[in-house]
Structures are given as C-alpha cells and as structure tokens.
Amino acid sequence: MSDNRIIALAGNPNSGKTTIFNALTGSNQRVGNWPGVTVEKKEGVLRLEGTDYTVVDLPGTYGLSARSIDERVARDFLVRNKPFLVAVILDASNLERNMYLALQIMELGVSKVVLVFNMMDVARSRGMEIDARAMSIFLGVPIVPTIGNKKEGIEDLKRVISLYVRGLSADNKMEPGSPFKYRQDIEDAIEQVESMIPNEIAREYPARWVAIRLMEDDSEYRDIVARMSSGEEILGKVDALRQHLERILGYDVETAMAEMRYGYIKGVVREFVKRRPSIGDRLSMSDRIDAVVTNRYLGLPIFLLIMWIAFMLTFNLGGFFSDYIDAFFTFVGSITAAHIRTEWLASFICDGVIGGVGAVLVFLPNIFMLFLMLSILEESGYMARGAFVMDKLMHAMGLHGKSFIPMVLGFGCNVPAIMATRTLENRKDRIITILVNPLMSCSARLPVYVLFAGALFSAHQGTVIFSIYILGIILAVVLARIFKSMFFKGETTPLVMELPPYHIPEPKGVILSAWQRSALFVRKAGTVIFAAVILIWLMASFPLGAGYASEHTLIGRLGSVLAPVFSPAGFGYWQAAVALFFGILAKEVVVGTLGTLYHTTGSGLSAVIASHFSPLSGYAFMVMTLVYIPCIATIAVIKRETNSWAWAGFAVAYSLILGWSLAVIIFQVGSLFA
C-alpha cells in the first residue's frame, strides 16, 4: 500500500531538515524551479545497497492540522503518497515542541517512522541528557541522534533506513511500544467512528486517522466523508458524539485532544530527558543576543544598520568584479568587430548578444552578493529577528510580523517570495502580502539601478539605490494599509512568532545557496533574456536600410508611439519606452534592451545613459522601474497563489498607474526646484 521508493523528511522549520536532506542525498538532488524557501517539494536520490530511493524534503510544519498551506502540502503528501518511511527531524534541544509533529505522524500510521534527534550539540550545550535508547523502546520507533551540520549520525540513520528497507524492524526486536491513547471516552468515540468509515475511504486513508480528524472537526475530512452515500449519516453520528463529549468535558473536543497530545509529550520528555539545572538555567547565548537585537529601542536601528551594510557590500564588492566581466565583453566585442566580415552577423553578436545579454550579465556579481547577504541573514536566524523587530511596523500595516520574511525574500525574487506567503495562516494577510510584494525590489531590477545611479550619481550611487529600496518598502507599507481597509476591514488574527536559535552560517551552504539562486539568473540570461534580446535586435534591424536601431525601424516606430506617455516623466525617448515595454517579460530586459539599442555594455552604456538622462529624469526612470507592472513570472505566480485573475489584474493595474504617477510627480516637482 505504500510506495517503497519514497522516504519523506518531515520536521519543524529550522530543525535541520534540509541539512539532513543534503547529507543523505549529496549532489543527487533536483532543486525546484524557485529555490529560496523550502516551500516547493525538493527531491533527491539516496542510494542504499544498489537501490535508489527518492528522498523528499517536506515543508517545515509544527503539526498535521493543515492550518497553513505548508502544513497542508506536507500532510497531503504523507497521506496521499504514503512514503514507506518518514524520517521526522527534531530539534533535540526543543523536544517538547518538536515531538508534537512526530506524534501526529506516528498517529497517521501510514509509514514507518524514524525519529532523528538533530542538534544534539545544542541539546548537550544546554545541559540536556537524552536517553534516546529508553525513549525509543518506549515509543516503539527507532531514534537516531545526529548533528546534521557536522554529518554526525548520518551513517547510523542510513543503517536504520537499510534495516527498514530489508523489511526488518530497526533492531529486530522492536516492540510496538506504548502507543499514545486519548482518554477512554474519546478513544471509544474514535473507535465507533472508525468502524463506520466506508471501504472506499479506508482504501485510501487509515480509518483511525480519518476518525481522529472527524472528531477534531477537520473540514477537509468532513468533505471527503460527505461525498459518500452514507456520508450524512456518519457526520450526524460524529456530531452527536462530539456534542456528547463536549458536555462532559466542558469545552471543545479538538482542544481536549490537542491538550492530551501535549500532555503525553510533556510526560515523555520529563521521563527521558534530564537537565543539569546549573547549565540549563543559564541564559543561553541566543537569549543573550536577543536581549540586545530585539530590544525595544535598539532593535530597529540595528536592523537598519545590518540591512545597510548588506546593501553596501552588494554594490561595492559586487561592482569590483563587474568591471572584469565588462572588460571581458568589451574584449570579445572588439575581436568580433575586427574578424567577422559579414555585417549582419557582426551586428548580431556585438549589438544583440553582447549588447543585450552581456549588459545584463555584467551585474552577476552584484546579484550574487545580494543573494549571499540574503542567505547569511536567513541562515544565521537573524531574518526571524528582523520579523520580530518589524512586528510593530507590520501591525501598523495591518499585517503580522510573519509577513515580513516574504517581503525580505522579495529583494531576491518576487516569485519565491510570493510562494513563501504560504506560511501565513490567514488568507487576507496572504493576499495583501502578495499584492504589495512586487514593491520589494527584486534582483532583476538591480541592474537598472546600478547602471543609472552609476551613470548619474557617481559619488552617491549607494545612497541613491538604498533610497529606491526604502521607497519600495514605504510604498508597500502605505498600500498594505490602504488595501486592508479597502478589501478586508477590521480583521486581525493573533499569531505566535517563532525565534529559532542563532547559528553561525555554514560558509559552504551559504555560498552554495547564493550560487544556486545566481545560476538561475544566468540561466534566465541564456533563455528568456536571450530570446527577448533577439526579438529586439530583429525589430531594430528591420526594415533593412532604415539604419540599425534608428527611429524608422520596427522597434523605433513602436517606441515612438509609446514615448509621449513618458514625456511628463522626463524620459520621453523611444528607447526608454520600449525598454520598459519589453521589461515586462523580465526586468533584466530593461537593461538588455538599452544595451542592444545603444550597442554597448558596461562603461559604454553608462556614458550613453549620462548623455540621455538628467539625474532627475534618471531617478524618475528608476522609480518607474521599481513600481510599474510586475514581470510575467510574478503575474503568473500571483494568479496561481491567489487563485484569481482578478487579483493578478489588480496588481498589474495599480502598479502601472502608481509607477507612472510617481515618475511624473518626481520629475515635475523636482523640475520646480532644479
């Protein structure tokens, strides 16, 4: 009944799932299309005794109640795909909270379960002694202690998996243990419901699990049962049982059941985990750092300082390497011009490929640095503190601090950032966070800023770019507030913020992750951007005889139609107009188009920009680039995640109107003072 080739890794966020996943699968992994957060399914291959197993890294969850989308994804996978083995990764230093998910997975009962007690080093440093052997016998499941980031215990884990693979229980005499039970009257009710579950359902789902879900009033499972011919009768009986129990308990059944699980776990932990009080009671390192970093007064300045440092490193260190890439393309361009005699081919290579794709690739170092900074912030655990510090501000936006992480991820790419909103439990918070996310300036827009700020604000370019990012944040705050009062008046949901312990980021992991994300950028340069640039080059070459990239070419005519729209913003040039137009395909194409049309990259392109734009019109252009219409991939993901074209259309409409208005206001008001 279960698929013998799938091993699922489940666990709370930050328990070390991905670390264990990497240790098990090495380089044999299929990274999803949009890396960044473990929202999408990540798969890898583990070879054991000559057979390949698919290892799946599930989204981090605290339970299987499917309250958030992450939980639903994880639960659906476990219930429907029935992996033959689930390794639950637990943060051993925080077993009480982490065991909840483990208990629910054991309760689900479709897969064999291994508990991986990860972060044993942290547990030990906090003075915890875990009697894993005794606990394993008590629970009736194997327990493997590990230190994921040092690869300790991974071989033990593989050994346990091999034993399971061969169909043996872990040490051949593993007893069923003492499985968790609810109090007797609830157990009786569960049993009654279980016996009523029709065969069609029991073939797909474990009957006891369905009975438990029904007793907990899970709407998804109620719907499944309601579709059966005897559905109404069963649900009627369930409701009667629930009402009866509620009268006895004095409160609702699902609360009682959750409390019993917590109580059981508390007991298990008290029994098998000993703490040496002298060390255990001392303030942990994380707590001490948090006392400063999340301090009421210091928190925000520290946050801004860290962000500012991250941005400065992105531009200054990144810019240093960009110069070499620029020199390389200039070199290739001069060789081509000297040796290729066929005029159209030389133009294609110099103007199209080097001008277009080269103009974009020059910014690879900046983008790599940006992703490196984001990875370090994420990995170290600081990002969660940022969310904590921003909680107040987010409340002012009518949102919760949890919305902050998708916002920061938007600096990398809005697509995974919008997918990361799946951690938000409230649909209204989600929609607002999605709608304003494109205002968080993604890395694809960075080349425009670096190019324009470098050409027009040489001494202050870092500050100018920082101001664009800040403007994006302010707009997001204001609009979130407005959208909230427009669409979802007066609704708030209380939530608990998790603060994972700090970690010194693993250099290899951080660099790998930044590289994977940058590789996506390079791949994009070779595909979408390349295709767009060819289109632009063709449009700039025809009709023949009009003169390459002149106003009389196809693209020139298109641009001349659009350009007047932008005259009030100070950049009514047809080249700027088509750059923005094709930028909707992917924001990198804005610079790619300019490079193709002006057939130059890097410093050459800078000089052209300086001659066409004033600092004021250049700034208006940067603001337009920041705000106007999200790229096609972002529009598509907004549609997918909100499940509505109306929200996607709204995002396009508001951003276009807002971007244009701001660009015009900046140029017009600025001109009064200039």
Residues near ligand GDP (CB under 6 A):
11, 13-19, 38, 60, 118-119, 121-122, 147-149, 379, 503, 505-506
Kindly write down the DSSP assignment for every residue of 606-625, as one continuous string: HHHHHHH--HHHHHHHHHHH
Rounded to the nearest whole angstrom, what is the least distance from the CB of residue 14 to Mg ion in the complex?
8
Q: Which does 425 bind (CB under 5 to 8 A by kind): Mg ion, ligand GDP, none?
A: none
Per-position x/- string for 269-298, each x denoting binding to Mg ion as judged by CB under 5 A, each - no binding: ------------------------------
Q: Looking at beta carbons only, is 38 or 93 nearer to Mg ion?
A: 38
Q: Looking at beta carbons only, is 19 or 634 nearer to ligand GDP?
A: 19
Stretch that binds Mg ion, among 30-38, 124-132, 367-375, 472-480 (CB under 5 A): 30-38
* 138 burial via Cβ count (<10 Å: 0-12, 13-18, 19+): middle
Stretch that binds Mg ion, among 16-24, 175-183, 362-370, 574-582 (CB under 5 A): 16-24
Kindly write down the DSSP assignment for every residue of 211-255, as one continuous string: HHHHHTT-HHHHHHHHTSTTHHHHHHHHHHHHHHHHHHHSS-HHH
Q: Looking at beta carbons only, is 28 or 671 nearer to Mg ion?
A: 28
Q: Which does 111 bind (CB under 5 to 8 A by kind): Mg ion, ligand GDP, none?
A: none
Task: Tell me the residue type at 660.
Answer: W
Residue 116 backbone phi and psi in degrees, to 5: -105, 110
Residue 51 backbone phi and psi in degrees, to 5: -115, 140
Given the structure tokens 């897969």, which residue do they identify?
111
By CB under 5 A, tell whether 19 contacts Mg ion: no
Rounded to the nearest whole angstrom, what is the least distance from the CB of residue 510 to ligand GDP in the complex?
9
Rounded to the nearest whole angstrom, what is the least distance from the CB of residue 608 to ligand GDP in the complex?
44
Beta-bridge mates of residue 145: 117
Stretch that binds Mg ion, among 10-18, 67-75, 510-518, 629-637 (CB under 5 A): 10-18
* Structure-token pair, residue 207: 């009957």
Instruction: With CB under 5 A as the rule, give the number of residues binding Mg ion.
Output: 2
Q: Looking at beta carbons only, is 18 or 136 nearer to Mg ion?
A: 18
Conformational region of residue 498, where left means phi above 0, alpha means psi within -120 to 50, and beta covers everything else: beta
Rounded to the nearest whole angstrom, what is the least distance from the CB of residue 503 to Mg ion in the complex?
13
Question: Could you say which of 15, 18, 111, 655 contacts Mg ion (CB under 5 A)?
Answer: 18
Task: Tell me the residue type at 125.
Answer: S
Contact partners, residue 52, CB within 8 Å, separation at least 6: 5, 45, 46
Contact indicator for 66, 95 with CB cutoff of 8 Å: no
Rounded to the nearest whole angstrom, what is the least distance from the CB of residue 17 to Mg ion in the complex?
5
Q: Looking at beta carbons only, is 500 or 615 nearer to ligand GDP?
A: 500
Q: Which does 506 bind (CB under 5 to 8 A by kind): ligand GDP, Mg ion, none?
A: ligand GDP
Report residue 281 CA to chain centroid gap.
35
Say how far apart CA 473 and CA 475 lie, in whole Å.
Answer: 5
Rounded to the nearest whole angstrom, what is the least distance from the CB of residue 375 to ligand GDP in the complex?
10
Contact indicator for 11, 101 with CB cutoff of 8 Å: yes
By CB under 5 A, tell whether 513 contacts Mg ion: no
Question: Could you say which of 12, 15, 22, 38 contacts Mg ion (CB under 5 A)?
Answer: 38
Report residue 377 CA to chain centroid gap.
13
Q: Which does 481 bind (CB under 5 to 8 A by kind): ligand GDP, Mg ion, none?
A: none
Say how far apart CA 654 and CA 633 lie, in whole Å.
Answer: 17
Max CA distance (Å), the chain: 92
Q: Which residue is nearest to ligand GDP (CB)?
A: 148
By CB under 5 A, tell whether 149 contacts Mg ion: no
* Structure-token pair, residue 515: 């590289």
Given the structure tokens 């705000």, which residue do they identify?
627
Rounded to the nearest whole angstrom, what is the least distance from the CB of residue 506 to Mg ion in the complex?
13
Rounded to the nearest whole angstrom, what is the least distance from the CB of residue 571 to ligand GDP in the complex?
44
Residue ranges that bind Mg ion, judged by CB under 5 A:
18, 38
